[in-house]
């Protein structure tokens, strides 16, 4: 299946991305495969306590979840070895009606940073709808434009987003993982505070926002 952009309330995302809103992210090298609880401040609820309504209103459940070590984010996933696909729900703080965005992706290049990551991004459009689509982070100043079919290194389908508990944003996607690379990948996630002209704007370039990468084994 070809990569396809999608939104919660149907319709395709605007692609009027200008290059003026760049994302800048320092290269970081973090390889954590376990996520011990750290500080108590601003700690999100553990992933195992979270449930999802699904954008169609049906209850969604996932076999596995991980408390990601930065930004209070969690990743829920179903990995199907036979087809080498993984269905994910990425969840991160970003209140309903908030001006910002959230994104999650995997970097099939094996590098731990942002460049090369195939991501899904979600934010509230200027018309009030929550939009979500795949995008390629091809540099430290990516366009954040919706990926055209063929841009992605692997097919991504079922992209959608919704709010959860009024204070978090969820992005759903199904990834057909690249063949021959097993089930262990670098995943990278992010949140930013501003969207300008329906393009996610630069995120903070210090602290947790440049440490939000880790290795995940979907089959573990």
Ligand X SMILES: *[C@@H]1O[C@H](CO)[C@@H](O)[C@H](O)[C@H]1NC(C)=O
**Interacting residues toward ligand X by CB under 6 A:** 7, 9, 11-14, 60-63, 78, 87, 125, 127, 129, 131, 198
Look at the block and give the residue holding tokens 């939000």: 212
Q: What is the dihedral of CA 98, 101, 104, 105, to 10 degrees?
A: 160
Strand-pairing partners, residue 89, are: 76, 172
Cα separation, 10 vs 49, in Å, equals: 29
Using alpha carbons only, give the angle 140, 136, 93 rounded to the nearest 5 degrees. Answer: 80
State the minimum distance, in angstroms, from the CB of residue 111 to ligand X.
29
State the minimum distance, in angstroms, from the CB of residue 63 to ligand X.
5
Q: Which is nearer to ligand X, 14 or 215 (CB)?
A: 14
State the minimum distance, in angstroms, from the CB of residue 64 to ligand X.
9
Q: Which is nearer to ligand X, 13 or 145 (CB)?
A: 13
Classify burial at 131, counting beta carbons within 10 Å of its beta carbon; exposed 0-12, middle 13-18, buried 19 or more: buried
State the minimum distance, in angstroms, from the CB of residue 14 to ligand X.
4
**Residue 36: CA count within 13 A, CB half-sphere:** 1
CB 188 within 8 Å of CB 173:
no
Q: Which is nearer to ligand X, 75 or 131 (CB)?
A: 131
Q: Which is nearer to ligand X, 78 or 215 (CB)?
A: 78
State the minimum distance, in angstroms, from the CB of residue 82 to ligand X.
13
Residue nearest to ligand X (CB): 11
Q: Which is nearer to ligand X, 25 or 75 (CB)?
A: 75
Q: Which is nearer to ligand X, 142 or 146 (CB)?
A: 146
Q: Is 209 helix (H, G, I), strand (E, B) or coil?
A: helix
State the minimum distance, in angstroms, from the CB of residue 140 to ligand X.
24
Cα separation, 63 vs 205, in Å, equals: 33
Cα separation, 152 vs 186, in Å, equals: 16
């Amino acid at each position: 299946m070809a990569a396809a952009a999608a939104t919660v309330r149907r319709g395709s995302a605007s692609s009027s991305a200008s290059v003026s809103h760049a994302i800048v992210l320092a290269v970081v090298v973090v390889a954590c495969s376990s996520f011990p609880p750290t500080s108590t401040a601003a700690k999100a609820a553990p992933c195992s306590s979270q449930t999802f309504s699904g954008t169609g209103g049906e209850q969604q459940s996932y076999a596995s979840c991980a408390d990601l070590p930065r930004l209070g984010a969690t990743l829920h996933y179903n990995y199907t070895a036979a087809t080498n696909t993984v269905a994910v729900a990425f969840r991160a703080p970003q209140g309903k009606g908030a001006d910002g965005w959230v994104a999650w992706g995997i970097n099939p290049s094996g590098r731990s940073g942002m460049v090369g990551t195939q991501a899904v991004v979600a934010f509230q459009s200027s018309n009030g709808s929550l939009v979500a689509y795949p995008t390629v982070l091809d540099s430290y100043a990516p366009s954040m434009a919706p990926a055209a079919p063929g841009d992605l290194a692997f097919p991504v389908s079922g992209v959608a987003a919704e709010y959860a508990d009024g204070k978090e944003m969820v992005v759903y996607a199904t990834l057909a993982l690249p063949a021959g690379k097993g089930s262990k990948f670098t995943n990278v996630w992010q949140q930013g505070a501003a969207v300008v002209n329906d393009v996610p704007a630069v995120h903070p370039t210090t602290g947790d926002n440049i440490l939000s990468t880790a290795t995940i084994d979907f089959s573990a």
